[in-house]
């Protein structure tokens, strides 16, 4: 099973149990729907209810991205793995501040662990920044509310971003500060684009479990967003996305020619850059490591689902949740 990314304008149409992509020039290509878990749409695309019904049958999700390549929404088939018991306990852990804080702290501890993991490979250059983050990490356990916890996490990330110019060895790229609405330079564009893909990947894996993606702990639960995906993405952004960005830049796989500007201050990846990024992202997600508890090879993508299962066990009282901390 794989994710399929569509960049060309056209129409997705169904004939019996087969899906065709009909391009604007009339070219027809078969979409291997039996082998697809997620369809990512980066172009203008037409389809009808017959197509949607087949996606429901095959349990395939549709994810949509805007002109700049950033996530804008999803169509997800009717949830098949539902549990009222999990929903009730998931909500109860939000309403109880101590229970909510514990889970939120686990997300922050994991994020900090992976940030420090990236920085320690360059400790001679960023030693002072590492010390600052370690000092901030010690304050996580003392946070009395979610706002304070988020404030600590924000300070950690601000300090972490100061290390980027030491980790990135390509002189064509320079990182001043994090700017995301909108991203104003290539590195900000890469971070925003990577975070968008990471959010979608987490959401896709979460839908294979009984978790409700709208009930969250670190980010405030709210309408019109899957805030639990934002929570779990905090674990994987420094572990997966930041490392991917460093690799793409330092190996000159992504170059300045892969970016475009709108009104001189909005920077985004062009189609070629997005395809390079997605190809390497999918390669990274398929990469396996030897899981020390399962005692078998496990892909990075499946690690996300395992994190969901661990959280469910905590919510129903089976096992205390300890967020992932890469050991390899």
Distance CA 83, CA 102 (A): 23
- Summarised one tens digit per residue, pLDDT across range 13-25 is 988 888 889 998 8
pLDDT at residue 238, rounded to an integer: 96
Per-residue H/E/C for 8-42: CCEEEEEECCEEEEEECCCCEEEECHHHEEEEEEC
Half-sphere exposure of 205 (CA within 13 A, CB side): 23
Distance CA 37, CA 16 (A): 19
pLDDT(70) > 90: no
Would the annotation count 124 as a binding residue? Answer: no
| Average pLDDT, integer, range 58-85 | 86
| Average pLDDT, integer, range 45-71 | 89
- Summarised one tens digit per residue, pLDDT across range 178-220 is 988 889 999 999 999 999 999 999 999 998 999 999 999 999 8
Q: What is the mean pLDDT of the chain?
A: 92
Would the annotation count 114 as a binding residue? Answer: no
pLDDT at residue 236, rounded to an integer: 96
pLDDT(223) > 70: no
Vertex 78 angle, CA 75 and 83, to 5° = 130
pLDDT at residue 85, rounded to an integer: 94
Would the annotation count 205 as a binding residue? Answer: no
Considering only residues 139 and 328, tell me which one the structure prediction assigns the higher pLDDT: 139
- Summarised one tens digit per residue, pLDDT across range 150-159 is 999 999 999 9
3-class SS at 196? helix
pLDDT(76) > 80: yes
Highest mean pLDDT pick, 63-72, 129-138, 168-177, 258-267: 129-138
| Average pLDDT, integer, range 106-115 | 98
pLDDT at residue 69, rounded to an integer: 84
Reported confidence tier of residue 163, pLDDT bands at 50, 70, 90? very high
pLDDT at residue 33, rounded to an integer: 86
pLDDT(224) > 70: no
Half-sphere exposure of 56 (CA within 13 A, CB side): 8
What is the percentage of the chain residues whose pLDDT exceeds 70?
Answer: 99
Q: What is the pTM of this model?
A: 0.88
N-to-C CA span, the chain: 26
Distance CA 140, CA 109 (A): 8
* Residues facing residue 46 across a β-bridge: 11
**Hey, what domains does the chain have and what are their CATH numbers?**
2-75 (3.100.10.20), 84-315 (1.20.120.920)
Answer positive or negative: Cα dihedral of 105, 156, 255, 273. positive
């Amino acid at each position: 099973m794989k994710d399929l990314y569509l960049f060309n304008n056209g129409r997705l149409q169904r004939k019996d149990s087969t899906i065709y992509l009909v391009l604007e020039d009339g070219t027809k290509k078969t979409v291997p729907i039996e082998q697809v878990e997620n369809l990512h749409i980066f172009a203008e695309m037409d389809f009808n209810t017959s197509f949607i019904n087949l996606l429901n049958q095959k349990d395939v999700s549709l994810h949509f991205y805007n002109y700049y390549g950033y996530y804008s929404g999803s169509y997800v088939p009717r949830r098949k793995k539902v549990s009222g018991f999990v929903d009730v306990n998931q909500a109860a852990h939000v309403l109880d501040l101590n229970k909510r804080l514990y889970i939120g702290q686990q997300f922050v501890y994991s994020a900090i662990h992976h940030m420090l993991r990236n920085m320690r490979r360059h400790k001679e250059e960023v030693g002072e920044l590492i010390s600052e983050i370690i000092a901030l990490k010690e304050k996580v356990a003392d946070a009395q509310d979610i706002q304070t916890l988020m404030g600590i996490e924000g300070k950690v990330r601000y300090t972490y971003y100061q290390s980027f110019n030491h980790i990135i060895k390509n002189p064509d790229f320079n990182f001043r500060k994090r700017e995301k609405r909108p991203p104003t330079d290539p590195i900000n564009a890469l971070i925003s684009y990577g975070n968008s893909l990471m959010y979608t990947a987490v959401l896709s894996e979460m839908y294979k479990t009984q978790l409700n993606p709208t009930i969250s702990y670190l980010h405030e639960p709210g309408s019109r967003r899957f805030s639990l995906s934002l929570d779990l993405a905090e674990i994987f952004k420094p572990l997966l996305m930041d490392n991917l960005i460093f690799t793409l830049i330092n190996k000159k796989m992504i170059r300045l020619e892969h970016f475009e500007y709108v009104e001189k201050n909005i920077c985004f990846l062009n189609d070629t850059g997005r395809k390079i990024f997605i190809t390497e992202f999918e390669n990274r997600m398929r990469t396996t490591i030897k899981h020390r508890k399962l005692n078998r090879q496990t892909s990075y993508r499946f690690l996300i689902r395992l994190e969901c299962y661990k959280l469910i066990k905590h919510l129903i009282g089976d096992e205390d949740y300890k967020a992932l901390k890469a050991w390899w």
